Structure 1
Amino acid sequence: MRFIAGSNQATASWPQRHRSAKHREVLAVVTMAILLSGCAASPIVSGGGLSSYDGLTQSDGKVTKSRLLVRKEKVMAAKTVNISPTFFPASAAPKLSNAQRALVANAVDRALCISLSDRFQVVRADGSADLSVRASITQATPTDELAAGVSAATSIGTKFVDMGTNVPIPIPRVPIGLGNLSIEAEAVDPAGQQQAAMLWGRGATVFFSSPKVSKASDAYDLAAEFGDDFAYLLVKGESPFKGVGIKLPSWQKISSGVGLAPKHKACENFGRSPGVAGFVAGKLGMPPEWTDKGATPSQ
């Protein structure tokens, strides 16, 4: 009798297991479709600003396109670095205002300075250094403010959707009007010889980009991603996209990220991170222009 009862229970549970498996299959298909369709194009746009484009090789990440070069021995021997203000011509993003372009360019510089501080002594832009970094934004597609506003309003108070599988997934952004960013940068030695270079392109995604009501919002967020990637190229002397697992931030990067003083005084010229206030405002869909004070006058 116990054997028969046990068989009935096992038989009764089979449809539930079957439905659960079907739900997981549906979830996987839907999630993959969203991921494939919910990512802004990330073209690599050359602006002609590098001293040389020879020797650049393809080195893409999961959502980033890049071509890069690094002379590891020369880069790893360097101890000091300076950062020229990022160039962001109006022609690269005519729909952004001058103030928005300045904010995005400064976000590149700040991210570079903080991340490079993990290994280098960062000096003022006009000071002598083993390496000089210069970057130029070659394209920035604006964020659709209306779609971002709808996404932000939808996500407030509801961060996950179940879909009947008991496996919650984040609520994605509206996959319309996602912004992208393309940058080229290089590091040269005191003789002007290129020791590292990168062409970089990345677009916002529906899952991992916070929607904010500003044409510059996605470019602003992606600027920090570029700064981290190019700094990694110089700090480690290798591609940030190959053979890398989870990159844990250093303590100085964490403290700078919450708005505390940076490790090196030269980084103060790019202003401090909006910190917790900027994070909360971003999650509420507020424009980065509201919380980021931008660059500060040189001391």
Structure 2
Amino acid sequence: MAAHRCQQVEKPRGANRDRTSWADWLTIGATVALVALTAAGCAVAPLDRAGSLQAYDDLTPSDGLVTRTLQKVAKDDVLAAKTVKIVPTAFSDAAGDGPFTPAQRSLVANAADRALCAGLAERFEVVGPAEPADLTVHAVVTHAAATDPVAVGFSKGASVAKTVLLPGVPVPVPRIPIGLGSLSLEAEARDVKGRQEAAMIWGRAANALTDSGRVAENGDAYTLAAAFGDDFSKLLVKGETPFGKLPSLPSIEKLGAQLGGAPKYPACEAFGRSPGLIGMVGDGIGLPPDWTDKGAAAQP
């Protein structure tokens, strides 16, 4: 087939056959690698309990494609709520003894809060910590595994090499499945009387196929924290599991905030503004989170 194609375009057979052969072999190799990485390219994120939830009764499994959760929600009560406030995310004692520096932990926790605030603002009015609210949301990191920056660096180098050596050839370059990070959290929403209205234990590990990685120990945890914030906010906005449903388009306000603009509610300014396009570029080339994200706003 390769020779027939060469005759049609009237180019030197030997050179074209070699080029086609390389592309074919790389495509086959990439396919085999994708199958292998699907089975082995994930870390593990345990659904640990830190004791921060008011209750752990009646939590039921509800998993996504790459996320594991135990959750419950009082749908009618949650949907009746109009206002919400966020207690800043903290690390449990066990997770706090992990591999991150205090500054790295702060960026991870703040990424969860920023995503929570942006997601909750899709239906709720988000108010400040000193104001009364129908629901109070609090999350705790229960487990965090570090990313191997060297492995991510090699993966980025392989991606660049493919672009230079095989421009235009649609060969995916998956991440090296070594040193993948993971993150687990537990969170709940309580009403004005302190009763638990929703709860979730959430765990997810970086995937060699879909998570490109950043060259920092907290690179995967930072990305996964935002994914948690998005999932838990959807549980409260819809009053039902966020998994197994078609994705919905974000509002103009949320999209603007994701691009680095002002959030919908001033209370969300406490978590700083999204790095926007700079953050997206940084993620694409693997820059450490603290190179693009200024973190939470300075407290007066």
The two structures have a TM-score, normalised by structure 2, of: 0.86
Change (3 A) 1:237 1:157: farther
Change (3 A) 1:96 1:256: same
Q: Secondary structure at the match of 2:155?
A: helix
CA distance in 1, matches of 2:282, 2:295: 16
Q: Is the aligned partner of 1:122 residue 2:123?
A: no
CA distance in 1, matches of 2:149, 2:62: 32
Match runs of 1:2-151 below 5 Å: 30-89=33-92, 91-93=94-96, 94-151=98-155
1:91-148, Cα deviation, whole Å (9 max, x unpaired): 3052100000011000010000001000000001221100000000001100001101
State the 1:43 CA deviation. Answer: 1.6
The two structures have a TM-score, normalised by structure 1, of: 0.86
CA distance in 1, matches of 2:32, 2:288: 33
CA distance in 2, matches of 1:206, 1:52: 35
CA distance in 1, matches of 2:32, 2:216: 32
Counterpart for residue 15 of structure 1: none
1:197-229, Cα deviation, whole Å (9 max, x unpaired): 000000001121122110000000000000000
Counterpart for residue 198 of structure 1: 200
CA distance in 1, matches of 2:235, 2:203: 15
Q: Is the aligned partner of 1:257 residue 2:261?
A: no
Q: Give, as a single letter, the amino acid of the residue that structure 2 aligns with 1:33.
A: A
Q: Secondary structure at the match of 2:63?
A: coil
Aligned positions, number: 275
Change (3 A) 1:159 1:133: farther
- RMSD of aligned alpha carbons: 2.4
Change (3 A) 1:25 1:200: same
CA distance in 2, matches of 1:233, 1:47: 21
Work out whether residues 159 and 170 of structure 1, in 8 Å CA contact, stay in contact via their aligned partners in 2: no
State the 1:30 CA deviation. Answer: 4.2
Change (3 A) 1:152 1:28: closer
Q: In structure 1, list runs of 5 or more residues that go unmatched.
A: 1-22
After superposing on structure 2, the runs of 4+ consecutive aligned residues of structure 1 that deviate more than 6 Å are: 23-27, 159-162
Q: Give, as a single letter, the amino acid of the residue that structure 1 aligns with 2:232.
A: F
State the 1:171 CA deviation. Answer: 1.1
Q: In structure 2, list runs of 5 or more residues that go unmatched.
A: 1-25
Q: Secondary structure at the match of 2:90?
A: coil
Change (3 A) 1:161 1:80: farther
Change (3 A) 1:233 1:159: farther
Work out whether residues 136 and 190 of structure 2, in 8 Å CA contact, stay in contact via their aligned partners in 1: yes
Counterpart for residue 16 of structure 1: none
1:21-67, Cα deviation, whole Å (9 max, x unpaired): xx999876542221111111122111111000011001011110100
Counterpart for residue 296 of structure 1: 297
Which range is displaced more, 273-282 or 76-85?
Answer: 273-282
